[in-house]
Structure 1
Amino acid sequence: MSGQIQRSASIVIGANGATPSNSLSISPTTTVQSPLQIFVRAKKRINDIFGEVEIYIGDASKFFHALPQDSDLTSQEEVAVVDGHGEKIKGIREVLARDHMKVAFFGRTSNGKSTVINSMLRERILPSGIGHTTNCFIQVEGSENGESYLICEDSDERKNVKSVSQLAHSLCTDSLGDSSLVRVYWPTDKCPLLRDDVVLVDSPGIDVSPNLDSWIDRHCLDADVFVLVANSESTLMLTEKNFFFKVSARLSKPNVFVLNNRWDASANEPEYLEEVRKQHLLRTVDFLVDELKVCATRTEAEQRVFFVSAKEVLQARINEFKGVPINTGMVADGFHSRYFEFQDFERKFEECISKSAVRTKFDHHTKRGKAIVSDTRNVMEALLERASAKKATKGQSRREVLDHLDFTEKQLQLVTVEMKDKICKMVEEVEHKVSKALSDEIRRLSVLVDEFHAPFHSEPLVLQVYKKELHNHVEACLGSNLRARLSTALAMNMEQSQKEMTERVTSMLPAEKKQLGLGLIPRREPFEVLYRLNCDNLCADFTEDIEFRFSFGLTALMQRFMGRGKPAPWVINNYAESIPRPLGSQGGISAQIVPQGNDDWSVLSRIAIASITSQGTMGGLLLAGFMMKTVGWRLIFATGVVYGGLYLYERLTWTNKAKERTFKRQYVDHATRKLRLIVDLTSANCSHQVQQELSSTFARLCHLVDGTMNEMQNEIKQLEVELRALEEVATGAKVLRNKANYLVGELDRFDNSYLTRGE
């Protein structure tokens, strides 16, 4: 049963109540837990802990390598430290996996070292016999697969265990050197010691080799217990003492047990048994306490000295394995006491080696593990502090940007409302001023037309050129006059408004963009309103009437006395409709409205023609005769002479200049009417230009603010991403820090449970 060694003794009592030596038998009736299990449990526990430590260091290394390369949260030195810890933990785990309780047996040649080991293994495995038998170091350890084999040094070849006699026996020609090591793997079910991670090392005699220093360096520095097998037939030799002096110089207080073997020889001289025993015990205790100084008290040293017969114990255990009484064969008196003392040695040896191995094997690893985990924890703590501090800074920056963004949005809304009101007021003001100025200029249109000087002729082609130039003149003069009256004040108002607009908006921009915002306003030329009158198209339907008309003609008189206030015939012709339209054609010939009174005939001529051409000729003659009879022919003649003189005068004064004056007067009347129709349109157009200019400037400024707000929003998003990343880093660092605290606690509990419990 694993982890348990069955050791009990039952003495077969004879019929007479005596205890004959040949009836002694050992039967496994009581189960006692081996002290070696402390080491086994400690080894399993510390391996489990370091398994968690290895996973933890691996997680920490992955965590560091997952951080952005350009991050200032950690340094390359810290990453290198954590990666280095991973290699250290890996090495410690490999050592822990190989760690075992090592017992090294030393003594002079033929003192029975190999026999003692065979007795503990319960079978003859190592070569033993008369003389110098063991020629090299033999290490016996448990076989994991239950097989028995051996492996020579510097070789992986498995050999049969029977060949150990050839390899390790000094009498064989193929034997190895005295510093060589042969590993013998023996099934653990055949030896409870090997089951509990104990390794037994046999050595050549220390009195036949000069290589003691190399022995110690190669095979003794990691031993937990040293067993000096002495020959009880002689006293403790100087050779044995010198060897352990060398061991003590390299190891601090090695655990030494002394077996006085071949104590069965004392049965031949029973009268000197106690004296010899006391003599050996005294000298051995003096060596351990006073000379070697590995025991603090003599009582402690006495517990390390035993008087045994390994040969008897080996034979008894072989008999026990065969199922025969253990005392079968030639057995000297006092066998049972020597047998139980050997068992007592094994028990105390197990307690000592378990305690020593736990302390020597695991104490250093535990301290290194604490240092590694604590170092990693400190790195995580520093990382957590840096991540938390940076997170707080980023959070503050995010709040500041959010506040600035909110303030900018509200300010932009207020400025937008104010600027809209201001633009609307300015547009209304511009519209009013343009309307008033244009109306004033229309009233002065006759002056502008009179200022126009160009060759005038009634020929149609010349007249068309004259009208075109007159259109251009009127349009240019009106535009020039309007600009003279409005542009300066308008430009100043525009500049002031744009400046105020810029100052209000750029106050919301960061310092590096304020100059960019100010650069939107200064212009190479001041703003100027374009007055699009387009007189050429506006007066395209103007049709002049420069034919001669007698002022005292019948038509003129009738218009003067009967139609006062009505437009002139040429006006009727031009304004009958806003756009001249042809009348319907008859017989394919288009007819135009012929204005009344277009001819300048006198009344008499009209009467005469009417008399001749109409059917009322007789009526006209009768009317003429009636008038002559009534007023007299002299008065009629005088009136006709005067009337004719007036007609002749007007006819003679109807020159090209008179025609031009008439043309200009008609043009002024026509243009005045047309221009008054577009006063509202022109003023609205000018105000729209102003509105477009101001709105465009404000839009460009707002675009800068929008860009700044977009940048702030992007900055907020970037800060949120960084905050999430920092939160993940802080959380990860906190988890790893807490895991380090847990592992340090586990190592402390292991220390309290296994390392300091027995102190």
Structure 2
Amino acid sequence: MAAYVNRTISLMSGDGPHNRTNMTTILRSNGIDNSPLQIFVKAKKKINDIFTEIEDYINDTVDYMHEIENEEKIVSKGKVKKIEDYVNKVRSIREVLARDHMKVAFFGRTSNGKSSVINAMLRDKILPSGIGHTTNCFLQVEGSSAEDPYLTLEGSTEQRAVESVGQLAHALCKEKLSESQMVRVFWPKNKCLLLRDDVVFVDSPGVDVTPNLDEWIDKHCLDADVFVLVANAESTLMVTEKNFFHKVSTKLSKPNIFILNNRWDASATEPEFLDQVRRQHQERAIDFLVKELCVCTTKEAEERIFFISAKEVLQARLAEQGQTVSTPLTEGFQTRYFEFQDFERKFEECISKSAVKTKFEQHSQRGKYIANELKDILEEIYNEALKLKEEKLKLQKEITDKINYTEQQLLMVTQEMKLKIRNMVEDVEQRVSKALTEEIRRLSTLVDEFNLPFHPEPLVLNVYKKELHLHVETGLGSNLRARLSTALAMNMEQSQGEMAAKMEKLIPENYRNVNNIIMPRKQPFEILYRLNCDNLCADFHEDLEFRFSYGLTALIHRFSGSKSGFLNLMNKSERPQSSIPSTPMDVPDNSRMLGFNQNPLDDWSFLSRIAIMSATSQGTMGCMLLAGFMFKTVGWRVIAIVGGLYGSLYLYERLTWTVKAKEKSFKKQYVDHATRKLRMIVDLTSANCSHQVQQELSSTFARLCSLVDKATQDMTDQLKSLEKEVSTLNNASGKAKVLRNKANYLLHELDLFVDTYLKLHT
């Protein structure tokens, strides 16, 4: 029997009308594995890789946006939050993609052979099968990387031996499970090609054993890619089966449904009715799919209705693996086997295309949406960064030009102001010198105005002198200010105003406003005239002793002071120019002996000598000589008259030598002394005043320059800040451009995925 089965299988291995359809040709031409299921596997791997890149891309974008969020205001917090939300969304999509598989759900009435069909497709007897109500719950068979098979119950992670599935899922098992409860059977992928390709089979209890069809559909059918209705070929489609798929079609848009008329081997006993029965079943199935469910066309429906014997196929495949088969094969087995293979091919093509479309189309569209959103955001950031960069570069150029202009103008204004300050300083020095000289000439008037009580007592006189020093210093300063202050103040104000006006033009208005740069306050300038008369006239010593105006000494000093020049000149002109003085050869007469000479000039000289001798002599000899000389010359009457007049004059002057006269003499002496001292400091005082003017103008100009320097420094600092901002914006725009191009790359990858796996196989 095994040999017969093997021989039959070998006959079916050749080329024939049941080879792969045009889909296989397309797959081969595109370099894809001959198995249509590989489309899903490759598509799943490809879209997983794409979403891995998308996730990395979003993380890079989020990092980038956090980086530029604090640097430049080119991205809002709302955009950052929006992209951060995409991280979780893409992570959720990746988790779904990792769980995605091709799911096929088998439904039908009890004992129609649903489990046998699954076992035949898996080439092993995995699920329990037999007569009567066999499967008591939902069974999901999926691939596992483990070497040994196992199963788990719904809501539990405990791994059980796979052999217990025959008991747990069997309707006759004492451990009753709910009809909608799921038992997951994990079968090693290396034992089944279908499971290797991420196909999941779901076996169900009979649709005729429970009224909870809606619960079944909601719990186990909404994510199914293909539905296989296993019908009993010995009867026609039942209302129960139709009602189930009517409910499915209301919740799913055009579900993919295959109808398997199982146990078709029973037709071998009635060969004369074979074609009529087949035609009858096929017409009713086509009407159900096309007219009742409206899920496909008539041509498509013809491709989805098959007549098979799952039990025969399972036995044949077990025999192919070397297992002993006891049940004999009936007539027409080869045809039924070929049709089962054809079903498997059509099923593989359908479930692969359906799963790719249902599982990945929405994900690909979602990926495109996310990529486009990121692309638009990054494009906006890129354009905004470029715009800001251009604005910063323009502002940078403007500030650079302002700095260069300010420096050039500052140099020109500095040279101009230096010349103006020098001219004004010279003018002030000349004015002060001239005014002080004139005030010194009027010093006697100023001293006469001093009316403090005068007393020759030394202690009182010292106080008087200090007050006089202060009065003179204050008066001179007041007079100088009255003569000069107004004109100097006007010139200073004009010069300072001109400086401020010129320097203010060098400070941009926006810098004065933004940086609170205030021009120097224009205060009236006043020169301090530091005469310091107290120290200057500290060496003044008054002479308040009484001296007769016509005393012999005063007359001689007065006369000798006026005639000495003339006498000296006359003596020089009449005296012989000889290097050896002449010596008289004869003895002079009495007059000569007494010192008289016939020459009047000699007489005057002699008289002067006599007077000086008499005035300066400490004894009576001089007076006697003078009196004897006068008595002999003019006579005693004249001498008496002259003496009386002379005495009266002396008495008058002595009586008029009062405190007032002493004050007048004191002031005259003080004026003479102060005049000499003040004339000595005219140049010093004028230089000091000009220095004050120079210092004031220089300090004003320095303050103005400091403001310009501050504005220039602020512009320089802003220029450095702009350079950093331009560099930041340059990096930001560069990264935005790279990320934007990455979005274009991801969109291209998604488009390529759609063209390769969705459009090509639609």
Query: Structure 2-normalised TM-score?
Result: 0.82
- Output the CA distance in 2 between the equivalents of 1:756 and 1:676: 115
Q: CA deviation at 1:159?
A: 1.3
Listed as ranges, the matches of 1:360-399 within 5 Å are 360-399=358-397
Q: Does the CA-based 8 Å contact 1:432-1:683 persist in structure 2?
A: yes
Q: In structure 2, the residue corresponding to 1:183 is in which secondary structure?
A: strand
Q: Is the 8 A contact 1:139 1:184 kept in 2?
A: yes
Q: How far, CA to CA, are the matches of 1:603 and 1:496 in structure 2?
A: 67
Equivalence for 2:601: none
Residues 1:561 and 2:567 aligned together: no
Residue pair 2:229, 2:259 contacting (<8 A) in 1 also: yes
Shift of the alpha carbon at 1:750?
A: 0.1
State the shift of 1:181 in Å: 1.2
Structure-1 residue corresponding to 2:671: 668
- In structure 1, the residue matched to 2:425 is 427
Deviations, residues 148-205 of structure 1 (Å, cap 9, x unaligned) = 1111112222111111122211111213122111111001111111000000111111
1:385-408 Cα deviation digits (max 9, x unpaired): 333333433443444344344434
The one-letter code matched in structure 1 to 2:375 is R
How far off its partner does 1:517 sit? 8.2
Q: Is the 8 A contact 2:631 2:639 kept in 1?
A: no
**Distance verdict in 2 for CA 1:22–1:507, change over 3 Å:** closer
Residue 226 of structure 1 aligns to a residue in which SS? strand
CA distances 1:432-475 after superposition (whole Å, capped 9, x unpaired): 01101111222333444445455555554444344334333332
Instruction: Report how far residue 100 of structure 1 moved.
Output: 0.6
Q: Secondary structure at the match of 1:258?
A: strand
Deviation for aligned residue 1:52: 1.1
- Name the CA shift for 1:269/1:462 in 2 (closer, same or farther; >3 Å): closer
Instruction: Please give the residue correspondences for 1:468-507 in structure 2 after superposition, counting only pairs within 5 Å.
Output: 468-507=466-505
Provide closer, same or farther for how the CA distance between residues 328 and 601 of structure 1 changes in structure 2, counting only shifts above 3 A: farther
Distance 1:27 1:436, change over 3 A: farther
**Quick one: structure 1 residues 348 and 663, their matched pair in 2 at CA, closer, same or farther if it must change by over 3 Å?**
same
The equivalent of 1:267 in structure 2 is: 268
Match of 1:3 in 2: none
The structural deviation recorded for 1:70 is: 10
Distance of 2:551 and 2:70 partners within structure 1: 105
Is 2:129 aligned against 1:128? yes
- Deviations 1:51-79 (CA, angstroms, capped at 9, x unpaired): 11122222333333444479753444433
Name the residue aligned to 2:35.
Answer: 34
Letter in 1 for 2:711: T
Aligned 1:244-283 pairs, distance under 5 A: 244-283=245-284
Task: Compute the displacement of 1:41 (Å).
Answer: 0.4
The CA distance in 2 between the partners of 1:565 and 1:244, in whole Å, is 164
- Structure 2 CA distance for partners of 1:564 and 1:495, relative to 1, 3 Å: farther
Partner of 1:214: 215
Alignment of 1:156-167 (within 5 A): 156-167=157-168
Deviation of 1:120 after TM superposition, in Å, equals 1.5
Which residue pairs with 1:44 in the alignment? 45
719, 733, 737: which one aligns with 2:736: 733
Q: Which residue of 1 aligns with 2:691?
A: 688
Helix, strand or coil for the counterpart of 2:176? Answer: coil
Partner residue of 2:584? none
1:348 equivalent among 337, 346, 349: 346
Q: Which deviates the most, 258-267 or 203-212?
A: 258-267
SS in 2 for 1:33: coil
Q: Deviations over 1:67-95 (max 9, x none)?
A: 44797534444334323322221221111
Q: Per the alignment, in what secondary structure is the counterpart of residue 169 of structure 1?
A: coil
SS state of the match for residue 179, structure 1? coil
Tell me, which stretches of 5 or more residues in structure 1 are unaligned? Answer: 1-10, 13-19, 567-599, 613-619
Which residue in 1 is equivalent to 2:575? none
Match of 1:541, SS?
Answer: coil
| Percentage of identical aligned residues | 57
**C-alpha displacement of 1:721:** 4.1
TM-fit CA distance, 1:678: 0.5
Tell me the alpha carbon deviations over residues 641-666 of structure 1, each in whole angstroms, 9 at most, x when there is no partner. 68866874664425246655554444
The offset of 1:370, in angstroms, is 1.0
Which deviates more, 99-108 or 228-237? Answer: 228-237
Inter-partner Cα distance in structure 2 for 1:281 and 1:710: 94
Following the alignment from structure 2 to structure 1, what is the Cα–Cα distance between the partners of residues 450 and 255?
A: 134
CA gap of 1:412–1:639, structure 2 versus 1, over 3 A, is farther
Show CA shifts across 1:304-333 (max 9, x none): 222222212222222232367xx7752223
- Aligned CA RMSD, in angstroms, stands at 3.7
> If the length of structure 1 is used for normalisation, what is the TM-score?
0.82
Q: Per the alignment, do residues 261 and 607 of structure 1 end up closer, same or farther by CA in structure 2, a change over 3 Å counting?
A: closer
CA offset at residue 527 of structure 1?
3.0
Residue 303 (str. 1) matches residue 303 (str. 2): yes
Deviation at 1:531, TM superposition (A): 1.5
Q: Distance in 2 between matches of 1:641 and 1:519?
A: 88
Task: Tell me the secondary structure at the aligned position of residue 130 of structure 1.
Answer: coil
Distance 1:638 1:708, change over 3 A: farther
Contact 2:286 2:298 in 1 (8 A): no
Change (3 A) 1:465 1:290: closer
- Displacement of 1:640 after TM fit? 6.8
Question: Would you say the 8 A contact 2:496–2:522 is kept in 1?
Answer: no
Q: 2:535 and 2:12 mapped to 1: Cα distance?
A: 135
**Separation of aligned partners in 1, 2:567 and 2:334:** 166
Which range moved further: 723-732 or 219-228?
A: 723-732
Q: Relative to 1, partners in 2 of residues 1:162 and 1:468: Cα closer, same or farther, differing over 3 Å?
A: same
1:438 matched to 2:436: yes
Q: Tell me, which stretches of 5 or more residues in structure 2 are unaligned?
A: 15-27, 569-608
- Counterpart Cα distance in 1 of 2:517 and 2:318: 106
Query: Structure 2 vs 1, CA of residues 396 and 604 (structure 1 numbering), >3 Å: closer, same or farther?
Result: closer
The 3 A distance-change label for structure 1 pair 536 and 128 is same
Question: Separation in 2 of the partners of 1:41 and 1:282?
Answer: 37
Q: Aligned residues, how many?
A: 694
C-alpha distance in structure 1 between counterparts of 2:63 and 2:6, whole Å: 70
Q: Is the 8 A contact 1:319 1:328 kept in 2?
A: no
